[in-house]
Amino acid sequence: MPHRSRLLFAAALLAAAAADAATFSVTNTANGGTGSLRQAILDANAAAGADTIEFSIPGAGPHTISITTSLPGLTGPVTIDGYTQAGATPNTLSIGTNAQIRIEIRGPGDFSASGLTLLVGAVDSTIRGLSINRFGGSQINLLADRATVIGNFIGTGPDGTTVYPSAPGTRLGLSVIGDFAQIGGTARAQRNLVSGNSHSGIYVGGSHARVQGNLVGTDRTGASARGNSCGISIGTTGTGAEATVDTLVGGDDVPGTTPGNVVSGNTRCGIEIVSGADHYLKRNLIGLAAFPLATVPNGGPGIAVRGGDRILIGSGFPGEVNNGIAGNAGPGVLVTGPGDASAPQRVSIFGNAIFGNAGLAIDLAVAGVEGPTPNDPLDADEGPNGLQNAPVLTGVTSEGRIRGQLGAKPDTTYYIDFYTTTACGPDAPPGGSSYLTYATVLTGADGTAIFEGPVPSLPDGTFATATATLQMSVGSGPTSEFSPCLRLGDRLFEDDFEP
CA gyration radius, the chain: 25
Q: Which residues contact 142 (CB under 8 A, 6 or more apart)?
A: 118, 149, 174, 175, 176, 177, 178, 181, 206
Angle at 261 between CA 174 and CA 314, to 5 degrees: 120
CB-count burial class (<10 Å; 0-12, 13-18, 19+) for 460: exposed
Using H for helix, E for strand and C for coil, what is the string for the chain? Answer: CCHHHHHHHHHHHHHHHHHHCCEEEECCCCCCCCCCHHHHHHHHHHCCCCEEEEECCCCCCCEEEECCCCCCCECCCEEEEHHHCCCCECCCCCCCCCCECCEEEECCCCCCCCCEEECCCCCCCEEECCEEECCCEEEEEECCCCCEEECCEECECCCCCCECCCCCCCEEEEEECCCCCEEECCCHHHCCEECCCCCCCEEECCCCCEEECCEECECCCCCCECCCCEEEEECCCCCCCCCCEEEEEECCCCCCCCCCCEECCCCCEEEEECCCEEEEEECCEECECCCCCCECCCCCCCEEECCCEEEEEECCCCCCCCCEEECCCCCCEEEEECCCCCCCCCEEEECCEEECCCCCCEEEEECCCCCCCCCCHHHCCCCHHHHCCCCEEEEECCCCEEEEEEECCCCCEEEEEEEEECCCECCECCCECEEEEEEEEECCCCCEEEEEEECCCCCCCCEEEEEEEEECCCCEEEECCCCCCEEHHHCCCCCCCCC
- The whole-number pLDDT of residue 224 equals 97
User: Which parts of the chain register pLDDT below 70?
Assistant: 1-19, 165-170, 237-242, 253-259, 292, 316-320, 489-499
pTM assigned to the model: 0.93
Residue type at 174?
A: L
- The whole-number pLDDT of residue 253 equals 66
Cβ–Cβ < 8 Å for 199, 227: no
- The whole-number pLDDT of residue 16 equals 45
Q: Which residues contact 279 (CB under 8 A, 6 or more apart)?
A: 234, 244, 246, 247, 249, 273, 308, 310, 311, 312
- The whole-number pLDDT of residue 407 equals 98
- The whole-number pLDDT of residue 167 equals 58
- The whole-number pLDDT of residue 2 equals 53
Q: How far is CA 454 from the centre of its chain?
A: 32
Neighbours of 121 (CB within 10 A): 15
